[in-house]
Structure 1
């Protein structure tokens, strides 16, 4: 054969293999035997080796993973991946239905019921019928590019089946680990004395973040897709769009159903509350969506979730199991938490051995005695929770559980936190779990993101005397690490590189990483914007600190006391000397303005020059507040394309100005 004939033969062979993959993994209806499939695959592999000029990264031969991924690139979502509002009763779903009915006035509407699969969210972009990129949900604004790993999942098409698909579109779904694969994986890990995965969701998420696609391929992940996004959708109907996606090669759940009444919604809930346990993959609820895409746009979004959809969480499973003992554990901020250690019990597909009792008040309220049988359930089918005691099974001479009066680790007498139920160990600079907890927190991804230092490595560095506080990290050398237990050359280099890279982490994340009591991630951003540098922050009085948005008297006192402790003063000085960012960057300082001071602004629609989240950040930098709903207090609406007609109507009724993207940028000086 000449080269053009070889190329055509290879392309047809790939199409055949893709079709057989689709029949096997999506339709569950194979048309050839495994032996015949393997013969075709080997023939393609042989041809691609003989004619490397015709190798295609989306060839079926590449699904096993072809290279070692060094890390994951962060990718900004073109359309943010918002979370859904949760409901836990049929009445709450009824309320949502009635709100939609009221908002849509006299318009007829249909609802699509779907299973809420319990996996890890993914968004995949296709162009010209070929997979371009697969990105995790991340924080909703940006996620990790895991394309190399997603390519190994055989139920996800690399190239689409023939059909009238848009030239470019995004499809969202859940990456899943089926129950049988999960059980086999945990059995292998138990045999090898490795930590077990808590549930299929964690296993799927962990697998998707593995560095070697070949290892990902061995885990046999699956997927279900539930939403299509494009500027050129084939239908105004979400249901029809997903049926179309099914015909293009995507695994869309056959349990999806079109519903046209509240009674239909309620019947759907009742049915799946029973039959979900028969499914081969984990679910944690249902999702209801308005079918019409046009009506979805008109209903719009709140700050966090779409108004046109709601999630219904199944009532948690519960069981009764004996209490073995209560342990008391000291956390990073010194809070001592009681934990019920239980006889293992199976709940929602996972083994539960422990459940937090939170504080002394809960122990007293539940009236727990030694050896009691406790009712345990999984809140949202994820977090185990003790809900009661079977007092009829109580042993006659059992003693009541008493909260400890000293730290279980360092022996320091505990103090009660004013206004709270918590007891705290005040030995903040001499209590091991507080010291190691602060180091681990400092190194974590959302803080300083020092790769290679997790819980186990933190404990190791602490025990070796190399790192006693966060400033000690910047004194570490490659030679200090090499030779330590489980730390080889690659890990040592990764840690040193991670420490060096952390010197460029922005100031607001440094504030959060310091473990200042009561200062979370959002508050840290507010503080950074207000104080601009650690030097300014250290000089501020409690009164000045309370003037910062979201900083009340308790937080202000925490900050003030923290920054005046001699140990913290020394640590901060050493971090400065190491080159940590202790002030806002020039870029952020120069972008701070006052063009919008005092205004309340609502964002609606889609934009050309910046994303919605970027506009929210700009609005805050210019001294204004973001709001999710239009009211008399709204100064104006930043109106992009596809703004819902109901919002426009409300603006007209209240006399609220609509400002275009170009007008807004001119207003703030073109930023």
Structure 2
């Protein structure tokens, strides 16, 4: 006798969800489809109908929810518990040899072992799973803070909404790449053309643009894929000791991993893998721009540590850039933030590595002479590192008979000042500074307002360019005898009013031939937001401000070092060359750059003007001996309530501490906020001191008031 088993609606829904999840796993992870697309679609329709009839069994992680919800309009910031670091680049076998040699020397290894994989050309993202359920996804952003794109990521079928298995981590922060396969890209563009819709420029832009759609339903229409390649925060799971084994474990959880992942030993093994993947690059179903080498043993990774924003245990080996031929239609000279004059070739548009190139750098006077690039020449253009276009060389056989060598100008093409060339330097510079050269001022303002500097949101390139050229300022402080003038320094930003910005908009519209509608009241929201962002930046940290000033060769790290050892802008202005050279990590060249900058009257006036405009110059305690926390290595993990991790790190650095991204035996103590993950577990395992937020505050108060 056969007994028919009839499922309840809830059981039927769970069964359909499991079938669809299994189909996704077999398709995206195992690359072994188990059912035809038509059957998948039929199961999806059946599930959707059942869920509509029984809303009491709704589940945000159901496969039916991938169609996308309502548009959000904004992307909330997400602070990464573990920073999403970038990678250093290798462009030659010599670079790879240097990378392996550093590891051998540091770890005393004869033949280091590596996990190797293709470098996908897409968009880096972070996926957070809690007890196996996908709860949040974010972009890389600046490495510390990204954007919440959870709703968009839920639409990607390659990303499991629930992990497979029974013993799942309490928290699993998966790092990976969203990308678009070549065939999917071509099919999407064909369909877009048939509908009369805009097409995508290339697969990478298609992937990045798809994740920044404010309406998830638009993202759901894009054929996106995903591969996992690493981890962020983890708790409740013993992470395998080898990186390659960790990737295999992610695959068992149902996360897709590139099938080209492999292991390699030593320099020869890395170069052999590079050659093998390069040979099949064009046949791969997705675009790659190189391969990535990572030390396989996690304890060796921790011993190697990090430098700046990149791990010392991993590197991206980039393929030689794709090249094309085109014609030089002109040569322009651009003026940069530091006054450097850079020749740029204007090219007949040409597609290089999937991007239309119209300009390419000629670097400097020495390079343009060496390559002898002339207007009218046929040249070979390359996207260096597949990013920055450059002229590789001239096809002399096709040179017209009447071309003339190009000569760099003897005066600045923007302000007309004489150019100067430092001894043994290839670069020539405008002899004026930003106060007298609009091109330098424009670039200086871009740098000043940047995210890693004063972070003035809304002050974009076009707005800055117009502020520097259009006479929109009508303020008493001008005292020039004229009715109006353009922006003349960074300090002028802090004197702007709503009327100034509305006048700027009026001038822009008049220039562009836009006639305002007298029946509509002009909106001021953009101006209000910009003024608010400028006002917020008045209270930035001193290291950010020092970096924002744009002193040559003073990057973020050097700015922090100056703050730690000098403590104030006044001490910086008063420091002589000997005092500057005595600061660790500030060599004679950088010290002279700083001394030259502080010696210029216009720069001292800029500091005075910024102060007068209400910009705070917070002071720290100058640490001649390195500070009370000198020699201490600190790791920050989890979420802090009273301040951001960046702010906490800056205050600890001001006391002489070194901030590290990983826990090792060299770590002095760990600051653990809410939802601290694997770093906290590692600290407890090694017996390293752990401070909660209250302990951190007590530590800061004790030393900062001393």
TM-score range, shorter chain: 0.7 to 0.9
Unmatched segments (≥5 aa) in structure 2? 1-6, 474-485, 515-521, 671-677, 680-685
Shift of 1:598: 9.7
1:137 aligns with 2:165: no
Structure 1 pair 527–599 and aligned structure 2 pair: CA distance change class (3 A) = closer
Shift of 1:338: 0.5
Q: 1:356 aligns with which of 361, 364, 381?
A: 361
Measure, in 2, the Cα distance between the counterparts of 1:68 and 1:13.
Answer: 29
Q: 2:150 aligns with which of 143, 147, 152?
A: 147
What SS is found at the alignment partner of 2:70? Answer: coil
Kindly report which structure 2 residues correspond to 1:74-113, keeping only aligned pairs within 5 A, or say none: 74-78=78-82, 80-90=83-93, 92-93=95-96, 111-113=114-116
Unmatched segments (≥5 aa) in structure 1? 629-635, 644-657
Measure, in 1, the Cα distance between the counterparts of 2:581 and 2:110.
Answer: 49
Partner of 2:275: 270
Q: Deviations over 1:116-166 (max 9, x none)?
A: 212232232212111133333344444444333322322111112346543
Partner of 2:399: 394
TM-score by length of 1: 0.78
Contact 2:185–2:223 (8 Å) recurs in 1: no
Shift of 1:258: 3.6
Structure 1 pair 84–54 and aligned structure 2 pair: CA distance change class (3 A) = same
Q: Deviations over 1:103-124 (max 9, x none)?
A: 7778997543311212232232
Shift of 1:401: 0.9
Measure, in 2, the Cα distance between the counterparts of 1:96 and 1:527.
Answer: 30
Shift of 1:418: 5.8
Partner of 1:256: 261
Shift of 1:436: 3.1
Partner of 1:434: 440
1:507 aligns with 2:507: no
Shift of 1:171: 1.9
Measure, in 2, the Cα distance between the counterparts of 1:140 and 1:432.
Answer: 32
Partner of 1:554: 593
Shift of 1:245: 2.0
Kindly report which structure 2 residues correspond to 1:398-437, keeping only aligned pairs within 5 A, or say none: 398-417=403-422, 420-425=425-430, 426=432, 428-437=434-443
Partner of 2:487: 468
What SS is found at the alignment partner of 1:361? Answer: helix
Measure, in 2, the Cα distance between the counterparts of 1:192 and 1:525.
Answer: 53
Structure 1 pair 35–60 and aligned structure 2 pair: CA distance change class (3 A) = same
What SS is found at the alignment partner of 1:374? Answer: strand
Q: 1:453 aligns with which of 459, 463, 482?
A: 459
What SS is found at the alignment partner of 1:392? Answer: helix
Structure 1 pair 109–369 and aligned structure 2 pair: CA distance change class (3 A) = closer
Partner of 2:517: none
Measure, in 2, the Cα distance between the counterparts of 1:128 and 1:418.
Answer: 62
What SS is found at the alignment partner of 1:552? Answer: helix
Partner of 1:59: 62
Kindly report which structure 2 residues correspond to 1:323-342, keeping only aligned pairs within 5 A, or say none: 323-342=328-347
Q: Deviations over 1:379-432 (max 9, x none)?
A: 222222333333333333321111122333344443335653323332633443
Partner of 1:178: 181
Structure 1 pair 205–447 and aligned structure 2 pair: CA distance change class (3 A) = farther
Measure, in 2, the Cα distance between the counterparts of 1:107 and 1:246.
Answer: 31
Measure, in 1, the Cα distance between the counterparts of 2:103 and 2:452.
Answer: 37
Structure 1 pair 504–225 and aligned structure 2 pair: CA distance change class (3 A) = same
Measure, in 1, the Cα distance between the counterparts of 2:181 and 2:566.
Answer: 50
Contact 2:17–2:62 (8 Å) recurs in 1: yes
- The number of residue pairs the alignment matches comes to 635
Measure, in 2, the Cα distance between the counterparts of 1:427 and 1:604.
Answer: 40
Structure 1 pair 126–504 and aligned structure 2 pair: CA distance change class (3 A) = same
Measure, in 1, the Cα distance between the counterparts of 2:471 and 2:58.
Answer: 51
Partner of 1:650: none
What SS is found at the alignment partner of 1:388? Answer: strand
